[in-house]
Amino acid sequence: MEKGSHSSSTTLARTKSDQLVETLAAAFKSARQSDRQTPPGTSESGGTLSRKSSKRVMMGASPRRSSGENNNTYIRKSRSAQMKLDLEELSSGAALSRASSASLGLSFSFTGFTVPPDEIADSKPFSDDDIPEDVEARTCKMKFQTEPTLPIYLKFTDVTYKVIIKGMTSCEERDILNGITGAVNPGEVLALMGPSGSGKTTLLNLLGGRLIQSTVGGSITYNDQPYSKFLKSRIGFVTEDDVLFPHLTVEETLMYAARLRLPKVLTRQQKEKRAVDVIYELGLERCQDTMIGGSFVRGVSGGERKRVCIGNEIIINPSLLFLDEPTSGLDSTTALRTIQTLQDIAEVGKTVITTIHQPSSRLFHKFDKLILLGKGSLLYFGKASEAIVYFSSIGCSPLIAMNPAEFLLDLANGNLTDISVPSELEDKVQMENSETETGNGKPPPAVVHEYLVEAYESRVADTEKKKLMAPLPLDDELKSKVSSSKRQWGASWWQQYCILFCRGIKERKHDYFSWLRITQVLSTAIILGLLWWQSDSKTIRGRQDQAGWLFFIAVFWGFFPVFTAIFTFPQERAMLGKERAADMYRLSAYFLARTTSDLPLDLILPVLFLLVVYFMAGLRLSASHFFLSMLTVFLCIVAAQGLGLAIGATLMDLKRATTLASVTVMTFMLAGGYFVKKVPVFISWIRYMSFNYHTYKLLLKVQYQDIMPTVNGIKTDSGLKEVGALVAMIFGYRFLAYLSLRKMQLHCEA
């Protein structure tokens, strides 16, 4: 019985196979006849092939792609396709297309055939979708937002940039960019290539509006208009370093970005829905509840971090997207997925510009346009697919099979190893002194660089500049939108403050409530309580001991917040610069949210500290005295925190800030009124600047106001002067910190 069923199934399989072969033969015959009647690349309706389908046809016809390394893929797809076929599908065009492409390993388009979009992946076995599965990015095709976006045509002509290097006695100007010209349109991906130090990142920053200085020359226009503040809300800029908060999850990071950057007209629910859409578009749903992570915190992988950075920018549906080295540190498959993401973003009408160091050959062929830089000069601008043809036309051809990107970078470095030497360059070298040649008979890099620059300027530069002079197909309304100088905030000032306040608490609660910090505070409190166990305030000796304890409280809770607050702005400088460059929020909203979000976290540990040590030391056991002592410590902490913020914001350098803070805190401690009772008049003003001094006096007055008129030479009056002095320090130090941040921001925008 089993044998009979087996033979019948085999016969049925053979019958299906024979029918399949006959159908394929008829299809080829009809395809040849139709190809004779219809020009290639057109359908019966006269429509041209789309960008993706035409690429797949070319890639499918390539003999290199149809051999050796892909045999296993074709066999796998052939088996899977044959298993999926049934008798009903054999009569349909889609089934025939899948069967023919899977069985024969070819990718072609039948004239008069209509292939549904969801079947394209199966009918094109050599398409971009046959990349090995990436566990991070998933293998599903990404569908990006197709809502209308403002088209922006970017043009730049003769762009130059210089930096001034100041020495001890003189200043030197160094050229970073020399007359760079190019353009990129919506729907295109422009790659900036070149060796390290060639000016790629500088050019990207100039085009993205991140460098606006007097040393910039040339013209950069957006829809034939100069850069304006309006463009900040239409530009996405992904930096090379992944600047993200390590303790926020992927979902929280994108949620906060959506709430801050998306237009005010959208509700909170709509903004959060957009964030969820971006998570699924970028294939991040698997890790959306995972923390980003950092140097000391485990989190998502490098490819996922990069996609989160891209998601932070595409969430606003930008017209222009700039990326600095988006594939740095990624493996080849993840890098390819990242570039495929950029291509998908461009295809929905956005303009994408990216720097890239040394892409693989597969990555290189995904770029529409290419700019090749060498020592700040332009060596090539045009279609990426025509770069090899251009350099071959000037005598520089690869002598062996090479990655196109590797070939171009060798030229940009002046390295002609395995590259033919142009006859003009050989003649020039022979006419010069033989000392200018290297040991292998190749011209030196400087001579090669000069030749490539001159060749581009004489053959291509003028033609490209004339193309840039052509008017854009845009009406005046679109051009006027770009020239608007009005900023577009995604949220009101109060909304920005609330969002940043919540984000600050979520990010820093892990640091504040770490076991290390809690152990430090509680162990100090227990040691103090044991040393001053049930001290006696009735004797002179006991009061002196208690005065020492109170002074230590003033010093400890003055020292601790200063060195915590110093790190606030220097550590967040990169994040602040990135978010402010994108106009995510106002500086005043950020500053107030940043300083106030620390207060609840900063005040919890002092409460635990005083609950332990106050009663162990045997101080006055009444609720009023306890809470007044706690309020005094709170004032000291907030004032000391303000000093730390001011020092950190002014210097923005942790080493210098720590040094200055150490000297300042030591001076305030010595002038705190415990070590020196009588200070010389000419330096007595330091006392009144010391929060330790005012805190110490207040603590003494709280404990002994009703008992003794003076303690250690300090009058036990109401203490309003000390409270006023601490409040003035709280606001004064913070105002100084805000001015320092404002000055830094203005310096960056200048």
> Among 297-306, 442-451, 478-487, where is mean pLDDT lowest?
478-487
- Taking only the tens place, the pLDDT of each residue in 346-398 is 998 899 999 998 899 999 999 999 999 999 999 999 999 999 999 999 999 99
pLDDT at res. 121: 37
Residue 106 lies in a domain: no
Is pLDDT larger for residue 711 or for residue 192?
192
Region 535-563: mean pLDDT is 86
Q: Does residue 557 lie in a domain region?
A: yes
Of 63-72, 173-182, 501-510, give the lowest mean pLDDT range. Answer: 63-72
Q: Could you give the CA distance from residue 421 to residue 391 in angstroms, rounded to a whole number? A: 11
Tokens of 472: 């854009």
What's the pLDDT tens digit per position in 654-673? 999 999 999 999 999 998 88
Residues 6+ apart with CB under 8 A from 247: 291, 292, 297, 506, 507, 508, 509, 510, 511
Q: What is the pLDDT of residue 90?
A: 35
Give, in order, the Cα–Cα distances in Å from 186 to each of 222, 351, 382, 472: 11, 4, 16, 12
pLDDT, position 485? 72
Residues 6+ apart with CB under 8 A from 511: 247, 517
- For residues 298 and 291, what is the distance between their CA atoms, to the nearest angstrom? 8
* Beta carbons of 609 and 519 less than 8 angstroms apart: no
- The per-residue pLDDT for 746 is 54
723 within some domain: yes
Q: What is the pLDDT of residue 15?
A: 44
b/e burial code for range 474-496 (CB count within 10 A of at least 16 → b): eeeebbebbeeeeeebbbeeebb
CB 693 within 8 A of CB 669: no
End-to-end CA distance of the chain: 88
Q: Is residue 734 part of a domain?
A: yes
Domain-located, residue 660: yes
- Contact present, 191 and 147 (Cβ < 8 Å): no
In a domain, 574, yes or no: yes
Per-residue pLDDT band for 122 (boundaries 50, 70, 90) equals very low
Query: What's the DSSP call for residue 457?
Result: I
**Greater model confidence, 460 or 90:** 460
Domain count, the chain: 1
Q: Which of 298-307, 469-478, 665-674 has the lowest mean pLDDT?
A: 469-478
Query: For residue 43, what pLDDT is reported?
Result: 39
Provide the residue range defining the domain that includes 546. Answer: 540-578+605-746
Residue whose structure tokens are 């992944």: 242
Query: How big is the CA angle at 21 (ends 18 and 22), to the nearest 5 degrees?
Result: 85
Let me know: does 174 contact 165? Beta carbons within 8 Å.
yes
Q: How confident is the model at residue 627 (pLDDT cuts 50, 70, 90)?
A: very high
Q: What is the rounded CA–CA span in Å between residue 503 and residue 252? A: 9
Helices (H) and strands (E) in the chain, counts: 28, 11
- Mean pLDDT rounded to a whole number for the chain: 79
* pLDDT of 153 over the 70 cut: yes
Is 493 inside any structural domain?
A: no
Position 119 scores a pLDDT of: 39
Question: Per-residue pLDDT averaged across 693-715, rounded?
Answer: 81
Q: DSSP assignment, residue 398?
A: B
Q: What percent of the chain has pLDDT over 70?
A: 77
Q: Which has the higher per-residue pLDDT, 77 or 255?
A: 255
Residue 745's pLDDT band (boundaries 50, 70, 90)? low
Residue among 690, 660, 659 at smallest CA distance from 674: 690
State pLDDT tens for residues 410-438.
Answer: 999 999 888 888 888 776 666 654 554 44
Is the predicted pLDDT of residue 602 greater than 60, yes or no?
Answer: yes
Average pLDDT over residues 58-71: 39
pLDDT band at 585 (very low <50, low <70, confident <90, very high): very high
Count how many Cα atoms sit within 13 Å of the Cα of residue 27 in the half-sphere of its side chain: 24
CA distance 507 to 217: 42
Residue 334 belongs to some domain of the structure:
no
Tokens 């070298």 belong to residue: 429
Question: How far apart, in whole angstroms, are the C-alpha atoms of residue 126 and residue 66?
Answer: 8
- pLDDT score for 435: 52
